[in-house]
């Protein structure tokens, strides 16, 4: 089936949280709340959280490591439907990395036990990959995606 889908350059992760969608949406979009949980890794603290929560609005999220290195991510909101859906571009602002615009879709669906959150991160492919490489790797990536995200 990978042929019809083309290269798989996305991942999808789902989890159920025991809280209503409104609560999750707020945690996801309120800078003060984000500061409390968005950590990215051990020893990292969120130092920048600016969100202009409307279609076309931009955001910047910056985490700082103990050594003082700041990792910045920015993007633009393409869809804002509280409390159920957010679509935004995601660009890692790192001078050492090639600027790559990826796409994040966050769905917050009410479920029996709370909220089912689904994150879909798309356009992870590098445009510079030649077609032949893509063809050769598409099946590997398909497998990789489903293996990595399959059992969550």
Partner 1 sequence: MEPRNLGDRSRRQPQISSPNQRRGQPAGRRPGHFQSKRRQDDSTSNLNRTFSALADPTRRAVLEKLAEGEMTVCKLAKPFPVSLPAFSKHLRVLEEAGLIKRERDGRMFRCRLEATQLVEPARWIVSYGSLWRRQFDELAEYLESDKKLGRNR
Q: Are the beta carbons of 7 and 141 closer than 8 angstroms?
A: yes
Site for partner 1 contains 141 (CB under 8 A): yes
Site for partner 1 contains 125 (CB under 8 A): yes
**x/- string (CB under 8 A) for partner 1, residues 78-117?**
------------------------x--------------x
Place of tokens 């990292």: 44
Site for partner 1 contains 70 (CB under 8 A): no
Task: Give the β-pairing of 85-93 and 101-111.
Answer: antiparallel
Minimum Å distance from CB 89 to partner 1?
14
Q: Report residue 28: phi and psi, to 5°.
A: -80, -25
DSSP for residue 136: H
What is the separation, in whole angstroms, between the first and last Cα of the chain? 22
Site for partner 1 contains 133 (CB under 8 A): yes
User: Considering only CA atoms, which of 92, 107, 58 is closest in space to residue 78?
Assistant: 58
**x/- string (CB under 8 A) for partner 1, residues 15-44?**
x-xxxx-xxx--x-----x--xxxxxx---
C-alpha 16/C-alpha 111 separation (Å) is: 8
Q: Report residue 45: phi and psi, to 5°.
A: -125, 145
Among 60, 74, 116, 121, interactor with partner 1 by CB under 8 A: 121
- Contacts with partner 1, residue ranges (CB under 8 A): 7, 9, 11, 13, 15, 17-20, 22-24, 27, 33, 36-41, 102, 117, 119, 121, 124-126, 128-129, 133, 136-137, 140-141, 143-145, 147-149, 151-152
């Amino acid at each position: 089936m990978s042929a019809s889908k083309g290269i798989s350059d996305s991942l999808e992760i789902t989890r159920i949280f025991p809280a209503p969608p409104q609560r999750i949406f707020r945690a996801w979009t309120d800078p003060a709340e984000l500061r409390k949980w968005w950590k990215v890794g051990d020893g990292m603290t969120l130092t920048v959280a600016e969100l202009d929560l409307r279609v076309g609005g931009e955001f910047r999220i910056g985490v700082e490591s103990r050594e003082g290195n700041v990792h910045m991510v920015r993007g633009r909101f393409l869809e804002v439907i509280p409390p159920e859906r957010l679509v935004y571009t995601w660009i890692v602002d790192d001078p050492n990395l090639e600027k790559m615009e990826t796409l994040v879709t966050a769905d917050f669906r009410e479920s029996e036990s709370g909220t089912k959150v689904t994150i879909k991160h798309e356009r992870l492919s590098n445009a510079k990959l030649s077609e032949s490489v893509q063809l050769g790797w598409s099946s590997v990536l398909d497998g990789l995606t489903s293996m990595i995200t399959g059992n969550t």
